[in-house]
């Protein structure tokens, strides 16, 4: 059997000089979509636990189906980046406890039925109209408080696991000093929650949900800013190569993108706008949520690209 690490070798050669700019877009997009879906799973689970599935305008009726689409797109992006595409199925013939890739493969396998169960609680109206039996099943399921609560808890647990995994997948690759931090899992989880809260605030039709999600996103953005600071402080207080890795975004080639797109436009500006919005000083607009999503995507690109730029030898 092909060893587990070889299954996920990408086409990017670690020995290629980084100035050639040969990195692809697939892995950052996969990590972003995975974190976004993880956040939407947690939000859906929260609303299910509060019994909001009975509300006609509840956003929890929209998120499961959208999450399935986005997660599938993320998996497609990952598949496109794999070198050994024909051997992906072997991941599901074993479970390696010490392998983040193995954990991720099985977590993703569990996420799909959980999202389908959540979708079954409130299927799209067009589908219910064509399938009366499905409408009856969904009605019974929505009235079963125990089943709904179980689905909600499973969504939250799997969402947190998926969000953390997107960061652990990189941090487990010790060959890159920038990724060699335990904070990446927390950072990507909080960023995913922020992206999901921002997007859900954008599409929610119930005023109370919109306000709650904007307030929640403010908390997530504040925590994300704090975790980013801890991430950089940890690198700066480690070995010389870790300090060099941190300098990639502290005066190095990724400084402008990191501080302008990720920190400035992706965190600080939306935090200010949404703080004014929830205090009723300005109206809610799509600007802040869209900036949060752009910042979340930019964060993955900076971390992935700068991580490949950093190395233990050669500077």
Give tens-digit pLDDT for 104-138: 778 888 999 999 999 988 887 777 767 777 778 87
pLDDT of 289 reads 94
pLDDT of 9 reads 31
pLDDT of 3 reads 37
Q: What is the pLDDT of residues 249-298, one digit of tens each?
A: 999 999 999 999 999 999 999 999 999 988 888 888 899 999 999 999 99
pLDDT of 7 reads 32
pLDDT of 23 reads 53
pLDDT of 58 reads 84
d(Cα 164, Cα 38) in Å, to the nearest integer? 9
- Give the percent of the chain with pLDDT over 90: 51
Q: Which residue has the higher pLDDT, 33 or 284?
A: 33
Q: Which residue has the higher pLDDT, 51 or 247?
A: 247
Q: Are 55 and 14 in contact (CB under 8 A)?
A: no
Tell me: pLDDT of 221 over 90.
Answer: yes
- Give the percent of the chain with pLDDT over 70: 88
pLDDT of 248 reads 93
Q: Which residue has the higher pLDDT, 5 or 246?
A: 246
How many C-alpha atoms does 78 have within 13 Å on its Cβ side? 20
Q: Which residue has the higher pLDDT, 90 or 194?
A: 194
- Name which of 41, 49, 26 is nearest 112 in CA terms: 41
Tell me: pLDDT of 21 over 90.
Answer: no
Q: What is the pLDDT of residues 57-113, one digit of tens each?
A: 888 888 999 999 999 999 898 888 777 677 776 766 777 766 777 777 788 889 999
Tokens of 135: 């409408």
pLDDT-based confidence at residue 222 (cuts at 50, 70, 90): very high
pLDDT (mean) for 229-248: 92
Tokens of 45: 């689970």
pLDDT (mean) for 211-236: 95
- Whole-number Cα distances in Å, 43 to 141, 144, 145: 19, 20, 18
Tokens of 308: 């490949």
Q: What is the pLDDT of residues 129-187, one digit of tens each?
A: 677 777 788 788 878 889 999 999 999 999 999 999 988 888 777 678 899 888 999 99
pLDDT-based confidence at residue 315 (cuts at 50, 70, 90): very low
């Amino acid at each position: 059997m092909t060893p587990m690490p070889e299954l996920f070798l990408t086409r990017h050669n670690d020995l290629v000089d980084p100035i050639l700019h040969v990195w692809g877009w697939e892995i950052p997009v996969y990590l972003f979509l995975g974190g976004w879906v993880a956040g939407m799973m947690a939000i859906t689970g929260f609303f299910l636990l509060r019994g909001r599935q009975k509300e006609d305008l509840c956003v929890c009726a929209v998120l499961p189906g959208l999450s399935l689409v986005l997660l599938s797109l993320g998996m497609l992006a990952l598949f496109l980046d794999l070198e050994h595409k024909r051997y992906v199925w072997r991941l599901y013939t074993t479970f390696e406890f010490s392998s983040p890739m193995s954990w991720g493969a099985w977590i993703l396998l569990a996420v799909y039925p959980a999202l389908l169960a959540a979708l079954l609680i409130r299927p799209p109206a067009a589908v219910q109209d064509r399938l009366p039996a499905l409408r009856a099943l969904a009605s019974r399921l929505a009235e079963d408080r125990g089943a709904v609560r179980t689905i909600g808890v499973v969504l939250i647990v799997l969402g947190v696991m998926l969000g953390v995994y997107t960061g652990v997948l990189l941090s487990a690759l010790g060959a890159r000093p920038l990724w060699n931090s335990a904070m990446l899992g927390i950072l990507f989880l909080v960023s995913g929650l922020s992206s999901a809260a921002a997007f859900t605030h954008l599409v929610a039709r119930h005023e109370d949900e919109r306000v709650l999600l904007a307030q929640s996103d403010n908390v997530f953005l504040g925590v994300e800013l704090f975790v980013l600071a801890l991430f950089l402080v940890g690198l700066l207080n480690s070995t010389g190569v870790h300090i060099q890795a941190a300098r990639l975004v502290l005066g190095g080639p990724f400084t402008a993108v990191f501080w302008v797109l990720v920190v400035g436009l992706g965190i600080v500006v939306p935090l200010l706008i949404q703080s004014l919005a929830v205090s009723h000083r300005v109206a809610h607009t799509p600007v802040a949520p869209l900036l949060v999503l752009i910042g979340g995507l930019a964060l993955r690109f900076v971390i992935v690209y700068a991580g490949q730029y950093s190395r233990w030898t050669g500077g």
